[in-house]
């Protein structure tokens, strides 16, 4: 594991290799954690030995930014994000189906344990009408289209969002 740490040090000095650094940080997590807990390493020594731990990488994924902006908009309107968007883990898919059957209007997001999106879809009157959408922002736009085209009532709990 010490070799991995040294390889990580050389990767930190290079540019445009965030993915490699993330991978190596993931591989060395247990080793690093053991070092912190068992050896009670000082902060100065940690900065020296694990510089990537102290670098903040900005997530520039526009899909994530759009999803956050939509959620913030709903919260800013004084409404609950959970009234529109339901998030589940892949392992909860059966339970998710039962919960979504009771929903009148909802966007669902299925994620894996690493928070990667596996499926995004729309529920109308308890039925899944579309899935495999590209993003939550895309799902909101399509949902607005369904609400208009099918002349459906906007959810009362989201009266300011729609």
Res. 38 pLDDT band, cuts 50 70 90: confident
CA angle 15, 17, 21 (to 5 degrees): 120
Instruction: Assess contact for 108 and 123: CB atoms under 8 A.
Output: yes
Burial, 115: exposed, middle or buried (Cβ in 10 Å; 0-12, 13-18, 19+)?
exposed
What is the spatial distance between Cα 132 and Cα 121, in angstroms, rounded to a whole number?
Answer: 6
At residue 8 the predicted structure's pLDDT band, cuts being 50, 70 and 90, is: low
Q: Is the pLDDT of residue 96 over 80?
A: yes
**How many residues are present in the chain?**
162
Q: Average pLDDT in the 109-118 region?
A: 82
Q: How far apart are CA 134 and CA 124, in angstroms?
A: 18
Residue 153 confidence (pLDDT) above 60: yes
Residue 60, pLDDT above cutoff 60: no
Show me where the domains of the chain are located: 2-54, 62-158
Structure tokens at 139: 């799902």
Bridge-based pairing of strands 105-111 and 85-89 is parallel
Predicted local confidence at residue 80, as pLDDT: 80
This prediction has a pTM of 0.58
Q: How confident is the model at residue 115, as a pLDDT?
A: 75
Strand partners, 111: 89, 117
pLDDT above 60 for 151: yes
């Amino acid at each position: 594991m010490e070799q991995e740490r040294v390889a990580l040090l050389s990767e930190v000095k290079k540019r445009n290799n965030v993915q490699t650094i993330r991978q190596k940080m993931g591989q060395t997590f247990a080793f690093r954690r053991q070092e912190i807990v068992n050896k009670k390493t000082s902060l100065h020594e940690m900065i020296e030995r694990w510089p990537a731990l102290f670098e903040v990488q900005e997530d520039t994924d526009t899909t994530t930014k759009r999803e956050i902006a939509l959620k913030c908009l709903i919260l800013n309107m004084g409404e609950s994000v959970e009234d529109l968007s339901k998030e589940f883990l892949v392992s909860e898919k059966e339970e998710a189906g039962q919960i979504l059957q009771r929903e009148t209007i909802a966007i669902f997001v299925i994620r894996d344990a690493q928070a990667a999106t596996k499926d995004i879809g729309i529920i109308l009157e308890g039925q899944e009408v579309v899935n495999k959408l590209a993003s939550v922002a895309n799902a909101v736009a399509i949902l607005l289209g369904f609400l208009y085209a099918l002349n459906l009532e906007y959810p009362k709990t989201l009266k300011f969002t729609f």
